[in-house]
Amino acid sequence: MAELLVIHPLNRGIRPIRLEVETESRKITSAKAGTTFYWDFEKTLQGKDPLDAIQLTQRCSGIDFISHAVAAVRALEGIAGVSVPPNARLIRNILLALDMIYGNLAHFYQNAVPDYIPLKTGPAVHGQDGDFRVPPTVAERIAANAWQALEMRSLIHSMTGVVAGKAPHICNVVFSGITRNLNIADILKLKSNLGEVGRFVFNGYTRDLEDLEKAYPDYFDLGKGDGRLLTVNEFPANKPGEFMIPGSVKTGTGNLVLDTGLITVACAGSWFEAADSGNTTLAGPFKTSPDKPGGYSWVKGALYDKKTFEVGALARMLLSGNSVTTGMGARAFSVMGRFRARLEETKALLEKISAWIEEYEPDGQLTAESEVPEEGLAIGAAEASQGSVIHYVSLSDGRIELYNALDSFSWNLCPQTADNNRGPMEQSLIGLTVANPESPVEVLRAARSF
C-alpha cells in the first residue's frame, strides 16, 4: 500500500522547501519538491528604472545575492553591447568566487552536516535518531568545525565588505563596471583573510568531508538526480570569450555549448501560469495562480531544450573538467559527489582569487563609457554557489518592460512539467528506500545535497 510522507518545511537551506514522497514497501515511487511561499520580482520590476534591478534582484537570495547583481548588470550591459574594464571583471570574479566559497561552506556545515553528526537533539524531529556512523571523537571535531565555519562565513563577508561596501547585498557593482578600486590596505586584508579561510578549508573542511565519505560510502550511490547538467559562462578570463567555467550542458549524449536561447519556463506544477496561455518564453509575463489544479510550488521552473537540468557545483566541476570530480565517474552523481564537487570548487576558487588579486591594477579604470539603452532585450547569466542564475530583461522607453529572474531553484526544483518530467531534486528522491519512515534520513540527505 502506498504511504505518503510529508516534510514541511525542510529547513536549513537557503529557502524552506516542502517535500512530499510516496512510498511502496518503503521505496519512494513519486516525489514532489517545491516552495510554499511566493517570492518573485517580475511584477515589481516592470516599469522601474533598469538600474534598480541590480539592487532589487539581489534580494532574491540572502546567500547568493552577488550572482543576482551580476546577472542583472550583465543583462543591461548585453543590451548596450559594452565590455567592462579589466578591474571590473576581476572585482566581479573575486566577489562571485567569495560568494561561492561562502555558499559552499554554508551548505556543507549548516545544511548538510547536521544530518550526519548529532549536533543537537530535540522533540519530534526528523532524522535525529540514528544512522550516525562517525566515531565520537571525529564527530566532536566536525561539530567544532561547524562553529568555526560560521566564523569563516563572517570573515568571507568581511572580505566582500572590503570589496563591495557591505554584505549581504552589495553596492559596488554598477552598470558598465564598479564604483571603487581596491587600495593596498584592502589587498593586504584580503590576502590575510584568504589565508585564514584557506587553512580552514584545507585542514578542517577537507578532513571533515573525507571522514563523512569514509563513513557513508553508500551515499555515493544515492541521490542521483537526472544526470543532465548545465552551467553558464562564469569567471571571464582576460582573453575575451574564455571562461573558467564555460557555459555548457551535459545531456545523455555528450557535452554541448550552452545556447541561452533554448531556455524556457515550465509552470505546469507551479502556482504561476503564463499570462498568454502556452507561452513558455523567458520573457513571460507570468501571473500568480495559487488555486491552480496541479500546482504545488511557487518555483517558476526552468527547462533547457525542453528538458530539466541540474545546476550547481557538481555541474560546474564536471563540465569544466575538474580532475577529482570527473575521476569519480558515475558516482559523482550522488549525495557525496555533490559534497565533493563543492569542496574541490572551494579549493580551486581560493587559488583563483589569489591570481585575480595579482592581476589587479590598483589605479585601473572603474567603468566603461556607456549608457543604458532606451530599448532592447537581453539575457544575463551568472553562477551562484547553488547554481546558475538567469535574468531576462526587456526595456522600453528607458524603463523595464518585462523581467524574469530564475535561479538554482528553477532548475533543481523545477516543478513537474506539462509532459510529466521531474526536476533533479525530485528525481534524486525517487527510488530511495526509506528504512525508517519515522526518521527518513535518506530523504533529508538527498534533498539537502543540492
Partner 1 sequence: MKHLSRRQFIKLCTASAAALGISQVWVPAIGKAYQNAAQGSPPVLWIQGSACNGCSSSLLNSVHPNMKEVLHEIINLSYHPGISTVTVRHLPDYLLDRAQQNRGRFILVVEGAIPTAGQGNFHIIGQDSQGKKITLIELLKKLGELTETIVAVGSCASFGGISAAEPNDAECVGLERLIEVSKVINIPGCPPHPDWIVGTLAHLLLFGRPELDDYGRPRVFFQGLIHNNCPRRQYFDNSIFARKFGEEGCLLQVGCKGPLAHGDCPTRLWNGASSWCVNANAPCIGCTDPSFPDLTMPFYKRMPEIQGPGITSTADAIGIGVGAATAAGLAVHLAGNYFSGRIGKKNSREDEA
By CB under 8 A, what part of segment 103-122 binds partner 1? 110, 114, 119-122
Based on the shown chain and the rule CB under 8 A, indicate whether residue 59 belongs to the binding site for partner 1: yes
Based on the shown chain and the rule CB under 8 A, indicate whether residue 154 belongs to the binding site for partner 1: yes
Cell of 180: 571603487
The residue count for binding partner 1 (CB under 8 A) is 76
| One residue of 22, 26, 30, 44 binding partner 1 per CB under 8 A | 44
- Binding track over 210-239 against partner 1, x by CB under 8 A: ------------------------------
Q: Which is nearer to partner 1, 146 or 328 (CB)?
A: 146
In whole angstroms, the minimum distance from the beta carbon of 342 to partner 1 comes to 18
Cell of 438: 519515522
> Quick check: 10 and 36 in contact, CB under 8 A?
no
Based on the shown chain and the rule CB under 8 A, indicate whether residue 86 belongs to the binding site for partner 1: no
In whole angstroms, the minimum distance from the beta carbon of 174 to partner 1 comes to 6
Q: Distance between CA atoms of 218 and 216, rounded to whole angstroms?
A: 5
In whole angstroms, the minimum distance from the beta carbon of 227 to partner 1 comes to 28
Based on the shown chain and the rule CB under 8 A, indicate whether residue 358 belongs to the binding site for partner 1: no
Based on the shown chain and the rule CB under 8 A, indicate whether residue 145 belongs to the binding site for partner 1: no
Q: Which is nearer to partner 1, 77 or 226 (CB)?
A: 77
Site for partner 1 in 4-33 (CB under 8 A): 6-12, 14-16, 18
CA quadruple 251, 257, 258, 259: dihedral sign = negative
End-to-end CA distance of the chain: 30
| One residue of 24, 38, 192, 329 binding partner 1 per CB under 8 A | 38
Q: Which is nearer to partner 1, 179 or 281 (CB)?
A: 179
Short-list 442, 25, 33, CA closest to 226:
33
Q: Which is nearer to partner 1, 248 or 394 (CB)?
A: 394
Based on the shown chain and the rule CB under 8 A, indicate whether residue 60 belongs to the binding site for partner 1: yes
Based on the shown chain and the rule CB under 8 A, indicate whether residue 184 belongs to the binding site for partner 1: no
Based on the shown chain and the rule CB under 8 A, indicate whether residue 153 belongs to the binding site for partner 1: yes
Q: How far is the CA of 287 from the CAs of 42, 57, 300, 447, in angstroms?
A: 9, 18, 11, 28
Q: Which is nearer to partner 1, 185 or 257 (CB)?
A: 185
* Cis peptide, bond prior to residue 135, ω within 30 of zero: no
Based on the shown chain and the rule CB under 8 A, indicate whether residue 400 belongs to the binding site for partner 1: no
In whole angstroms, the minimum distance from the beta carbon of 65 to partner 1 comes to 7
Based on the shown chain and the rule CB under 8 A, indicate whether residue 165 belongs to the binding site for partner 1: yes
Q: Which is nearer to partner 1, 53 or 311 (CB)?
A: 53
Binding part of the chain for partner 1, among 51-59, 206-214, 348-356, 420-428 by CB under 8 A, reads 51-59
Beta strands 248-250 and 255-257, pairing class: antiparallel
| One residue of 147, 199, 202, 396 binding partner 1 per CB under 8 A | 147
> Quick check: 387 and 408 in contact, CB under 8 A?
yes
Q: Which is nearer to partner 1, 172 or 394 (CB)?
A: 172
| One residue of 24, 49, 210, 259 binding partner 1 per CB under 8 A | 49
Based on the shown chain and the rule CB under 8 A, indicate whether residue 174 belongs to the binding site for partner 1: yes
In whole angstroms, the minimum distance from the beta carbon of 61 to partner 1 comes to 5
Neighbouring residues of 265: CB distance < 8 A, sequence distance ≥ 6: 274, 280, 281, 282, 284, 286, 300, 301, 302, 303, 404, 406, 410
Site for partner 1 in 125-144 (CB under 8 A): 125-128
Binding part of the chain for partner 1, among 38-46, 72-80, 205-213, 387-395 by CB under 8 A, reads 38-46
Based on the shown chain and the rule CB under 8 A, indicate whether residue 96 belongs to the binding site for partner 1: no
> Quick check: 152 and 108 in contact, CB under 8 A?
no
Based on the shown chain and the rule CB under 8 A, indicate whether residue 161 belongs to the binding site for partner 1: yes
Q: Which is nearer to partner 1, 7 or 343 (CB)?
A: 7
Max distance between CA atoms of the chain, in angstroms, equals 70
Based on the shown chain and the rule CB under 8 A, indicate whether residue 343 belongs to the binding site for partner 1: no
| One residue of 28, 167, 232, 350 binding partner 1 per CB under 8 A | 167
Q: Distance between CA atoms of 371 and 378, rounded to whole angstroms?
A: 15
Q: 3 pairs with which residues across the strands?
A: 23
Q: How far is the CA of 118 from the CAs of 9, 143, 421, 445, in angstroms?
A: 20, 8, 36, 14
Cell of 2: 502506498
Site for partner 1 in 360-379 (CB under 8 A): 366-367
Q: How far is the CA of 235 from the CAs of 143, 175, 283, 347, in angstroms?
A: 33, 18, 26, 15
Q: Which is nearer to partner 1, 6 or 257 (CB)?
A: 6
Q: Distance between CA atoms of 365 and 55, rounded to whole angstroms?
A: 22
Q: How far is the CA of 240 from the CAs of 86, 235, 244, 339, 437, in angstroms?
A: 11, 11, 12, 32, 53
Q: How far is the CA of 374 from the CAs of 47, 175, 287, 346, 370, in angstroms?
A: 12, 14, 26, 40, 12
Neighbouring residues of 136: CB distance < 8 A, sequence distance ≥ 6: none
Q: Extract the runs of DSSP E, i.e. beta strands, from 289-440.
A: 301-304, 376-384, 387-396, 399-406
